[in-house]
Structure 1
Amino acid sequence: MSEKKGTAEQLFSDMLQTLKERQGDLDKAIAKYQGGPAKPAMDVIENDDNIVVKTDLPGVNREDIKIDLTEDSLEIRAEHSEETDQEGVTYHKKERRYASAARTLILPAKVKLNDVTAKFDNGVLTIIMPKLEKKETFEVKVE
């Protein structure tokens, strides 16, 4: 019985791996079908003082990134053009994505526009936005 379980687990694991490998192709096809840019992966982190957004933009040049910000929303756009095929070169596999990327986010708190900083390092865009006001909690006593 454990051999059947091991075979089933391996089959399931192989299926998941195939799905993960095809996710990029699916995302690209959906973006092309919808006529819009791909959505880059994003983390939004909030602490007492800041909202931090980290966005994966692999292969994008710093000068091709545009950030539009209001006190309560953020839009990131990046252009990534495909490398031109070299003459005399045969691709055996071509999986890397070359597409525009865009993401819009409603921020969980208002931010100080003049104090926002952005850094692009190793394909990761990090935007640090100081909050306009700190959220305060008050304990209400029940009588």
Structure 2
Amino acid sequence: MANLSVRRGEGSNVQRTREWDPFQQMQELMNWDPFEQLASHPWFAGRQGQAPFVPAFEVKETKDAYVFKADLPGVDEKDIEVTLTGDRLSVSGKRESEKREEGERFYAYERSFGAFSRAFTLPEGVNGDNVQAQLKNGVLTLTLPKRPEVQPKRIQVASSAVEPKDSIKS
């Protein structure tokens, strides 16, 4: 196994130029962290700089349905709740963090965990009685069919050489 080393530039002959960061400078000058109070907020509690888990959604309309797809890798079916109330579709759930063992050392920890909630306002015409939800290979697919009266209907166009059947003859 290869050794992973982190260079911090201390004690080296390489001269680094530091980008100006107003927040870093404010913290250094005033010994005040503007985000310190946010860390105690319940939403941020226990995250230690970790980004919240916000799944990516794809929403498309077909001729007979609205299809929602969400990337939910590592989320179990039991941890997902989908509700439809009137014209409001809500998807919520959680992705549990993995257990950390004593003595483990992480060199990068960029994966997000925690609770999420997304809500969408639907257009008129969704048939809420026949919504289908499927979780497969970490992708949640929701299919919300349209009611028949709002689905597009093809109208036959007659040529001018042919007289319409319903026309009145004199």
TM-score (norm 1): 0.65
Query: Equivalents in 1 of 2:119, 2:42: separation in Å?
Result: 16
Higher relative contact order (CA 8 A, sep 6+): 1
Larger radius of gyration: 2
Per the alignment, residue 8 of structure 1 pairs with none
Does the Cα contact within 8 Å between 2:79 and 2:93 map onto a contact in 1? yes
Query: Equivalents in 1 of 2:151, 2:64: separation in Å?
Result: 9
Residue correspondence of structure 1 range 1-143 to structure 2 within 5 A: 35=43, 38-132=53-147, 133-136=149-152
The percent of aligned pairs where both chains have the same amino acid is 35
TM-score (norm 2): 0.55
Does the Cα contact within 8 Å between 1:66 and 1:78 map onto a contact in 2? yes
Query: Equivalents in 2 of 1:58, 1:33: separation in Å?
Result: 27
Deviation at 1:56, TM superposition (A): 1.4
Alignment size in residue pairs: 109
Could you say what secondary structure the match of 1:126 adopts? Answer: strand
Deviation at 1:34, TM superposition (A): 8.8
Does the Cα contact within 8 Å between 1:71 and 1:112 map onto a contact in 2? no
Deviation at 1:108, TM superposition (A): 2.6
Q: Gaps spanning 5+ residues in structure 2: where?
A: 1-37, 45-51, 156-170
Choose between structure 1 and 2: higher helix proportion.
1
Does the Cα contact within 8 Å between 2:63 and 2:152 map onto a contact in 1? no
The letter of the residue matching 1:72 is D
Deviation at 1:130, TM superposition (A): 0.6
Q: Gaps spanning 5+ residues in structure 1: where?
A: 1-29
The letter of the residue matching 2:43 is G
Does the Cα contact within 8 Å between 2:132 and 2:143 map onto a contact in 1? yes
Query: 1:21-80 CA distances to partner (integer Å, 9 max, x unpaired)?
Result: xxxxxxxxx9x9793864321111111210100111121111100001134220000111
